[in-house]
Amino acid sequence: MVQKVCLISPEIIGPHKNGGIGTHVFYLAKLLSQDSNCQTTILYTGEIAEETVEYWRRHFKTKLGLRFIHESELPPVFLGDICNARSHFLRSQKVYNWLKNQDFDVCHFQDFIADGFTSIQAKRTGQAFCKTILTCMAHSSHTWAFQAMQAFPTSIDQLLLDYAERYCMQYADIVISPSEYMFTWMEEACWEVGKDRRLLPCLMDLNRTAPSTDFSGDHIIFFGRLETRKGLELFLDALRNSASQLKQYTKGKSPVKITFLGKVSNTTYQDTQQAIQRFFDEFSEIYTYELLSDKSQPEALNFLTNHATALIVTPSLIDNFPCAILECVELNLNVIASNVGGIPEILGKNRLFAPNVDSLCEKLESCFKDGVPPLDKKYSVAKAQSLWKEFHLSLVKNPPFQDLPDTDQKHFPLVSVCVPYYNCGDYLPTLLLSLERQTFKNFEVIVVNDGSTKADDCQIFEAMQENYSIKYGWRFISKPNGGLGNARNFGVCHSQGDYIAFVDADNVAEPEMLDRMVKGALSSNIDCLTSYFRAFDTDHEPFSQIYSYAYMPVGNCTEAGIYENIFGDANFIIKRSVFEFLGGFKESKTHTWEDWEFLTRLSLLGYSLDVIPEFLFLYRHRSDSLTRTTSRYGNHLFAITPYLKDQPLWLQRLLINSIGASKYVYGQAEQRIPYLQLRLKEVRQKANQTQKRLNETQRVLNDLQQELKQVKDRINAMETSKFWKLRKVWFKIKQILHLPSNE
Mode of pairing for the β-strands spanning 475-479 and 528-537? unpaired
User: Taking the CA atoms of the chain, what radius of gyration do you get in angstroms?
Assistant: 32
Q: 37 pLDDT band (50/70/90 cuts)?
A: confident
Q: pLDDT over 90 for what percent of the chain?
A: 69
| Predicted local distance difference test score (pLDDT) of residue 483 | 93
- Specify the 3-state DSSP secondary structure of 698: helix
pLDDT recorded at residue 27: 93
Instruction: Check whether 220 has a pLDDT greater than 90.
Output: yes
H or E element, residue 41: strand 39-44
Tell me what percent of the residues of the chain surpass a pLDDT of 70: 92
Residue 670: predicted pLDDT: 44
Question: What pLDDT is attached to residue 118?
Answer: 97
Per the CB < 8 A criterion, the answer to whether 505 and 421 are in contact is: yes
Average pLDDT over the chain reads 89
| Burial category of 599 from C-beta neighbours within 10 Å (exposed 0-12, middle 13-18, buried 19 and up) | buried
HEC profile of 132-161: CEEEEECCCCHHHHHHHHCCCCCCHHHHHH
Q: Is the pLDDT of residue 691 over 80?
A: no
What CA–CA distance (Å, rounded) separates 349 from 337?
Answer: 10
What is residue 49's predicted lDDT score, i.e. its pLDDT? Answer: 84
219-378 and 409-648 have identical folds: no
Residues contacting 415, CB < 8 A, separation 6+: 440, 442, 443, 444, 497, 498, 499, 500, 501, 514, 517, 518, 573
Give the residue with greater pLDDT, 206 vs 132.
Answer: 132
User: Do the beta carbons of residue 236 and residue 272 sit within 8 Å?
Assistant: no
Q: What is the DSSP letter of 76?
A: P
Q: Which of 368-372, 380-384, 474-478 has the highest mean pLDDT?
A: 474-478
Which architecture characterizes domain 4-199 according to CATH? 3-Layer(aba) Sandwich (3.40)
Q: Which ranges constitute the DSSP H helices of 178-253?
A: 180-188, 232-241, 243-249
Mean pLDDT of 670-690: 58
Checking if the pLDDT of 78 tops 70, the result is yes
Say if CB 43 and CB 67 are below 8 A apart: no
Specify the 3-state DSSP secondary structure of 661. helix
Which residues are CB-neighbours of 68 under 8 A, at least 6 positions away?
41, 42, 44, 53, 56, 57, 59, 60, 61
Backbone region of residue 262 per phi and psi (left: phi > 0; alpha: psi in -120 to 50; beta: other values): left
Phi, psi angles (nearest 5°) of residue 70: -110, 145
- Indicate whether 678 pLDDT > 80: no
Q: Given pLDDT bands bounded at 50, 70 and 90, which one contains residue 368?
A: very high
Q: Tell me 658's DSSP state.
A: H
Q: 4 has which bridge partners?
A: 39
Residue ranges of domains in the chain: 4-199, 219-378, 409-648, 675-736
Are 419 and 431 spatial neighbours (Cβ–Cβ below 8 Å)? yes
Distances (CA, A) of 328 to 197, 293, 359, 398: 28, 18, 21, 36
Worst-scoring range by mean pLDDT, 54-63, 252-261, 500-509?
A: 252-261
Query: Nearest Cα to 327, choosing from 360, 305, 354, 351?
Result: 305
Annotation: CATH topology of 409-648: Spore Coat Polysaccharide Biosynthesis Protein SpsA; Chain A (3.90.550)
DSSP string for 315-376: --SS-SS-HHHHHHHHTT-EEEEES-TTGGGTB-GGGEE-SSHHHHHHHHHHHHHH-PPPP-
Residue 663: what pLDDT? Answer: 53
Task: Please choose, from the candidates 289, 284, 218, the residue with its C-alpha nearest in 3D space to the C-alpha of residue 249.
Answer: 218
Sheet holding 352-353, edge to edge: 287-292, 256-261, 219-223, 311-314, 334-338, 352-353
Instruction: Return the bridge partners of 568, or none.
Output: none
Is the distance from CB of 555 to CB of 567 less than 8 angstroms? Answer: yes
Helix, strand, coil abundance in the chain, percent, nearest 5:
45, 15, 40
pLDDT for 713 beyond 90: no
What lies within 8 Å, CB to CB, of 254 at 6+ separation is: 218, 288
pLDDT classification of 666: cutoffs 50, 70, 90: very low
On the question of pLDDT at 662 being above 80, the answer is no
Backbone CA torsion sign across 311, 317, 321, 322: negative
Regarding predicted confidence, which is higher, 679 or 392? Answer: 392
Predicted confidence band of residue 401 (pLDDT cuts 50, 70, 90): low
pLDDT of residue 518: 96
The answer to whether 474 and 446 have CB atoms below 8 angstroms apart is yes
Please tell me the least confidently modeled range out of 96-105, 283-292, 673-682, 693-702: 673-682
For the residues 724-737, what does the mean pLDDT come to?
A: 70
Average pLDDT over residues 409-426: 91
* Confidence band of 565 (pLDDT split at 50, 70, 90): very high
The CATH number of the domain covering residues in 219-378:
3.40.50.2000
Confidence of residue 669 (pLDDT cuts 50, 70, 90): very low
Q: How many CA atoms lie within 13 A of 313 on its CB side?
A: 30
Mean pLDDT, rounded, for 39-52: 93
Residue in 103, 111, 163 with CA at minimum distance from that of residue 135: 111
Cβ atoms of residues 573 and 415 within 8 Å:
yes
Write the DSSP assignment of 543-603 as a string of letters: GG---SEEE------TTTTTTS--S--S--EEEHHHHHHHTSSPP-SS---HHHHHHHHHH
Task: Give the distance from CA 468 to its chain's centroid.
Answer: 46
Chain segment 134-173, per-residue pLDDT in tens: 999 999 999 998 887 878 888 888 999 999 999 999 999 9
Q: What is the dihedral of CA 709, 715, 718, 719, to 10 degrees?
A: -120
pLDDT at 182: 95
**499-502/573-575 β-pairing:** antiparallel
Average pLDDT value for residue range 674-703: 68
Of 77-86, 131-140, 622-631, 686-695, the range with the highest mean pLDDT is 131-140
Residues facing 372 on adjacent strands:
none
Distance separating alpha carbons of residues 80 and 90, to the nearest angstrom: 12
Q: If you average pLDDT over residues 190-214, what whole number do you get?
A: 88
Q: How far is CA 272 from CA 473, 476, 555, 698, in A?
A: 72, 69, 38, 39
Residue 269's pLDDT is what? Answer: 84
Q: What is the mean pLDDT of residues 533-539?
A: 90
- Residue 75 dihedral angles phi and psi, to the nearest 5°: -65, 150
φ, ψ at 161 (rounded to 5°): -65, -40
Query: Tens digits of per-residue pLDDT, 594-629?
Result: 999 999 999 999 999 999 999 999 999 988 777 778
* Rounded Cα gap, residues 278 and 291, in angstroms: 14
The predicted pLDDT at position 247 comes to: 84
Q: Which pLDDT belongs to residue 721?
A: 66
Q: What is the pLDDT of residue 690?
A: 72
Q: Is the pLDDT of residue 452 over 50?
A: yes
For the packed helices 272-282 and 232-241, what is the interaxial angle rounded to 10 degrees?
A: 10
pLDDT score at 398: 75
The answer on pLDDT for 423 being more than 70 is yes
Confidence label for 725 from pLDDT (cuts 50, 70 and 90): low
pLDDT of 86 reads: 86
Give, rounded to a whole angstrom, the gap between the first and last alpha carbons of the chain.
74
* pLDDT above 80 for 84: no
